[in-house]
Structures are given as C-alpha cells and as structure tokens.
Amino acid sequence: MNIVDELKWRGAVNQTTDEQDLRALTDEKKIGLYCGVDPTGDSLHIGHLIPFMMLKRFQLQGHHPVIVIGGGTGAIGDPSGKNSERVLQTMDQVQHNKEALTAQMENLFGTDNFRIVDNYDWLSKLSLLDFLRDYGKLFNVNTMLNKEVVATRLEVGISFTEFTYQILQSIDYLHLYQHEDVQLQVGGADQWGNITAGIDLIHKIEGADARAHALTIPLMLKADGTKFGKTAGGAIWLDPEKTTPYEFYQFWINQDDRDVIKYLKYFTFLSEDEIKALQQEVNNQPEKRVAQRRLAQEVTKFVHGKQAVIEAEHITQALFSGEVADLSVDEIEQGFKNMPSVQVNGETKNIVLWLVDDTKIEPSRRQAREDVKNGAIRINGEKITDLEADINPADHFDGKFVIVRRGKKKYFLVRINK
C-alpha cells in the first residue's frame, strides 16, 4: 500500500497540496520529509506525537525523515494562536530544551535513516540585509496577513517578530529542499499557511516545477468534543519524569470505546486486519477493554520501551488485586505518585497508634481499632486484624515505604524519613 493511501485509511490526512503527485513521488523514490518542533519546553507531550507518528510511518517504509529542532525559531517564538505574544526564552533555556528534545527524538526514531538538524545553524548566518533582500522581497504582506495564524491575531495585535515567523519557517523548508533532498513537510492543521508559504518560496527560487509538498494532520478531538491530550491533571508528557510510564499507560487504557479505534489507527503500527479484529472486540465485548489494553501496550512500548509496559501492567494488576508486596521501589514511585501520601519517622510502633498519631490515616483510635478488627486495613498487601500488631517500616521496600490500604480501594503511601 502506498504511504499516502495508508495515511488516508488511518484518517491522518487533513490537507495535501497535490495528493496525486505526492502519491506518484513516493512510488518513484524514497523521499526526504520533515517536521519541525521549537524548543519552547524540555519535553514533548502526546499532542506533539501526532505528526511525528507520521514521520515514523514514512521511516518504516524506507523514506528519510528529518526533524528540525528550532534553535533559531525557538529563540523568536511562533504565533501561539492565543491572544498574546510568547515570552522570549534565554539562549541557555533554548539550548537546554533543544538537548532534551533531541534525546526524546533519538529514542523514538533510532539512529538509522534519520537526521536531526537545528535551524539555528543556517538562520543565525543571515544578516538583516540578506534577510530583507533575499527573502523578505519575495513575501507579499497582504498574503501573509491572510494566513490563519496571523489573521486570528490582528484584532489584538501581533509583533513584527512573530509576524515574520512564517518567513523563517519557509527558509527552513527551502534549506532542507536544497541540502537534505526534502520534498514534503508534515505538520498540524494549523501549520498549513506556514507550510504552503515555504512551498511558494521554493517555487520562486527553484522554479515552478519544483516538487515540494505539504501534508497536514486533522485536529484531533475526543468523542465528547474536547481536545485530545488534555486531562484534569494537565498534559501527558513523553518525559518519564513528568508523566511516569505507568501514568502514560493508564492514560491510554482509559480511553473511551468511541475513540479507541481511531487512536489505534493514529498511534500504533498495527495492521488493518489487526485493528479490524480489535474493532470486533469493542463491538462484542467492550467490558473486556481488549482494544484499550492493546493501545496502551503499543504506545507505551513505542515511547518508553517494552520493559515499561511490563512494569505498568505489573503495577496495574497489583493495585487491582491488592497484592502490592512484590512491587519494586521504582514501581511504587510510579503507581503511587498521585495517591495520598504522608511522611513519618521510621520507628516501630503499634498499628493503632501508628494509623492515628503518625500517619493520620485514621481519624481516631476508636475508628482505627474498628477497622483493624473488621479486616479493613492491609499493610503492604497483608490483612492485619491483630490490635497488638506492630508496624516496622524496615520490613519491606528497602525501608522506604509502607503501603496502606483501607477498605477495598483507598490506598495511602507512607514515606519513611531516613
């Protein structure tokens, strides 16, 4: 199947400049293509992942993806679509973010048949006069004003700096066309104006018959109409320090039945037959959530590796069953990151006094005694019914944690001060 046809089956094509020629071009040769990301932060989130999944699909078919880390444009800031200017970052911030994003991209794409470049390398060499004479002269202000990303800002105002961002992005495309044999730029739906401006620049300098293409991806909305990737807790990051692999896995496994097949098409490399089989599972046995689990496995493996999937499923099963004693210290850090926690000293103490005086898990000694006698308290997965039992924090988890479960589902993580 031609890569363009595969992307259309997956629902991943919003607009193309010349679909027929792009299909012909990708049949003729293995093309270079690119997507850019500015280092405005030190991690990508799953919203960023969408266009890079497209590049990965091209890579798997033998094409040559190039990623532009915008060390130059990131120092300027693109029009955000919000009614305000971006706050300019220091060059030290840009450099730190660039290094972090580069590491994430190398993790996703490997090192074969793939390049990361920094547009600072060519944009920083432009003098003001060169910029105005060689490029500014080729851009019509009226046309630039009609680009959606600019037009939406005209009422509240836009600085000259952000206004000229589309020229810089166009220069990127021209540079990659000339030096990296790139003939396709991929981006989100909101990037259409900037990408086509780059194609126009290529045609003006290289000739009208230059084969340069644009492909944008639809804005992804959930079945309830809200924007994909946003949760009550904030963005879902690719950085495991910001969003643990367990949290990442849980995000995907909790997707709505109405969305899961769409996400399997977008975010996994499963075949059409495999996804059709999962669609049948959703139709016939939705309560088993087979499709959601496969989605969580595939995306977590792609971003964090196979071991992260094993750990995420181990944590999930342990929390569901209550058998937490076999969790590792790292798994506890992941699984209990957002659960209620308290810090206590590490001395051995009677369970009732410990639950009330030290951890404040129980509101009173009377309630603590009642819960212990009724079997409602589990310490590190073990039910405790003896009111004379002692809690020794050194017994498990290298003396760093005690896991308390009160009732069927209420967990507390007790961190032990050293």
Known binding residues for L-tyrosine: 34, 165, 169
Q: Out of 8, 23, 30, 45, pick the active-site residue.
A: 45
The answer to whether 192 and 183 are in contact (CB under 8 A) is no
**How far apart are alpha carbons 240 and 242 in whole angstroms?**
5
Q: Does residue 40 have an active-site annotation? A: yes
Q: Does residue 230 have an active-site annotation? A: yes
Q: Does residue 190 have an active-site annotation? A: yes
Q: Out of 23, 96, 230, 369, pick the active-site residue.
A: 230
Q: Does residue 169 have an active-site annotation? A: yes
Q: Out of 29, 82, 373, 383, pick the active-site residue.
A: 82
Per-residue burial over 146-182, b if 16 or more Cβ lie within 10 Å, else e, is ebebbeebeeeebeeebbbbbbbbbbbbbbbbeebeb
**How far apart are alpha carbons 308 and 320 in whole angstroms?**
18
Q: Does residue 242 have an active-site annotation? A: no
Q: Out of 10, 64, 86, 98, pick the active-site residue.
A: 86
Q: Does residue 82 have an active-site annotation? A: yes
Q: Out of 16, 59, 169, 185, pick the active-site residue.
A: 169
Q: Out of 18, 190, 200, 357, pick the active-site residue.
A: 190
Q: Does residue 125 have an active-site annotation? A: no
Q: Does residue 98 have an active-site annotation? A: no
**How far apart are alpha carbons 340 and 290 in whole angstroms?**
30
Contacts with 272 (C-beta within 8 Å, 6 or more apart), sequence order: 9
Q: Out of 10, 38, 48, 73, pick the active-site residue.
A: 48
Q: Does residue 164 have an active-site annotation? A: no
Cα–Cα distances (Å) from 63 to 66, 69, 101, in that order, read 10, 19, 22
Annotated binding site: 34, 165, 169, 230
Q: Could you tell me the strand order of the sheet in which 115-118 lies?
A: 15-16, 213-217, 182-188, 32-37, 64-69, 115-118
The answer to whether 278 and 261 are in contact (CB under 8 A) is yes
Q: Out of 231, 285, 307, 385, pick the active-site residue.
A: 231
Annotated binding site for ATP: 230
**How far apart are alpha carbons 195 and 360 in whole angstroms?**
58
Q: Out of 10, 16, 38, 40, pick the active-site residue.
A: 40
Task: List residues with catalytic annotation.
Answer: 40, 45, 48, 82, 86, 169, 190, 227, 230-231
